[in-house]
Structure 1
């Protein structure tokens, strides 16, 4: 284990135990000018006509990617093998994400509320990590997938950080272990997206709580500003502004994120994604993040979590990803 990684991990745990309170242009739901309808699990879904998904259904040859995006390093993807899978419709696993960015914030949250929002079947196998009495952890992530097997889209993830199935829940020590291994576990509470293709594939194929709404992901010289619109009122509901960190590392870093949930038949399943982080930085300064909540449904949901201390902020301006289809636990 590298000294820098270990020191950073212990620093986060120390900050956790030392704290107890948390002191532009609109991007609409993506509607390409030219679309075509395809069938996914009996649903008619609009996709970009002539786009990657229209042509290859999650299995484009890497030679096509190299020709269309010559600036993308495909060396990692050449090491991975896709396989045909049935996830409620025919697809291929893993799904490739070639050029992407994200920002993630981890806050403390009300432990009892987190448990209340998780199904009993899931709680029997995994539980929220308790950082101190009455407090768990929540991760809020904004993704922009600029070029992937599903064309391009934006996504917002709100997840409970849990222990790994079959392992002891040792609170901050479990978190420390996950950080040292770059192997994180969670239960996804909310996952809005801004294309119908991403919504249908996520709900049917990955058992994820996705819905369609407007999402704006903008960058200025100094910050990333994400706006999430309420699906009913069409007004800005959540504004998520994070600072672009200056000490960005270009050292490749591999991170695994796994989730546990229930499938369409009520069976416990797990899926995971592996991220190849090409440029990344992190901070525990509360000044790095500004979260503004409105009166819409997502804001109301987040308010009920009683967010507290900012534990960690991750700024990842460049990463690649491979999302694997879920399997019965």
Structure 2
């Protein structure tokens, strides 16, 4: 998080939000010219973004969609979890539209993902997502067959349970603009030659809560993959909505080895929450040290599936 000496405050939906003084968001409010980004990030291929058109949108404040993420990395571990617990955590309206995928009796899937956005329209930040893997709205839920279908089409759907971030700008934009369960806390990223570690602080106690250690895989694909990650939730009026991000994966690999990722829980609220999900074995690990992304503004779900 930037120090107070390096920040200025701007108004977002009536809130005074600290942002990096002279940063992309301070200067351009989610709509920087690609020429400016190119000058600040020499050597980063921005060609993909040239084919994407931004539009002004009202998401509780004036912004532009899609939001661009120019240079990023992520690590994801997918675990089995108690499916009754997962269903109980979803609002009834959402559960009527999408359901957790049951991969075997009594077990659904949770994706635990740690992101580092090094350069994006709303400056640099870290984020951790805990999401239930679901079917696509309007499509049948066939458990493992649906999961295979999403994997083959690179079109994934989920319901976001937790989404801590380490900048107030990311928190306010996410809560107001996307109705996502974000809160501000410390998320520190460390790495060495073998692994990446994310340490997540408990926002109430200031102590280390969750530590996620992820292995750097050696055999990586350089084939460019386009992956769509979508979520279903309720907007601020209690109506069903959906949002999505399209990611251009530039370097990526996966593994099913149990030692690829280690989730260490402590005594804080997020650890307690994860324990309550009764996480089981890790079924897949993804290491994506290079990707770019475009996050689109949420829309009413009826725009996708029509009236039901």
Range class of TM-score, shorter chain? over 0.9
1:106 aligned partner = 78
Normalising by structure 1, report the TM-score: 0.91
Distance 1:49 1:288 in 2: 38
Mean CA deviation greater in 33-42 or 154-163:
33-42
Alpha-carbon distance between aligned partners in 2 of 1:302 and 1:248, rounded to the nearest angstrom: 30
Say whether 1:147 aligns with 2:127. Answer: no
Distance 1:290 1:210 in 2: 23
Distance in structure 2 (CA, Å) of the matches to 1:127 and 1:32: 43
Paired residues for 1:297-312 under 5 Å: 297-312=269-284
Matched, 1:192 2:164: yes
Choose which of 165, 170, 175 in structure 1 pairs with 2:142.
170
- Aligned partner of 2:230 among 247, 253, 258: 258
How well do the aligned residues superpose, as a CA RMSD in angstroms?
0.7
Partner of 2:100: 128
CA contact (8 A) 2:132 2:159 kept: yes
Structure 2 gap segments, 5+ residues each: 302-308
Instruction: Tell me if structure 2 keeps the 8 A contact 1:274–1:321.
Output: yes
Deviation at 1:31, TM superposition (A): 3.2
Is 1:47 the counterpart of 2:19? The answer is: yes
| Greater fraction of residues in strand | 2
Alignment match, 1:276: 248
- Quote the Cα distance in structure 1 between the aligned partners of 2:29 and 2:259: 42
- Give the one of 34, 39, 47 matched to 2:6: 34
Counterpart for residue 180 of structure 1? 152
Instruction: Give the 3 Å change call, closer, same or farther, for CA 32–225 of structure 1 in structure 2.
Output: farther
Once residues 46 and 232 of structure 1 are traced to their aligned partners in structure 2, the CA distance between those partners, rounded to angstroms, is 20
Count of aligned positions:
301
Q: Is the partner of 2:189 in helix, strand or coil? A: strand
Unmatched 5+ stretches in structure 1 = 1-28
Q: Which moved more, 1:67-76 or 1:179-188?
A: 67-76
Q: How far does the alpha carbon of each residue in 1:94-138 deviate from its partner, in whole angstroms, 9 at most, with x for none?
A: 000000000000000000000000000000000000001100000
Distance in 2 (alpha carbons) for counterparts of 1:219 and 1:109: 28
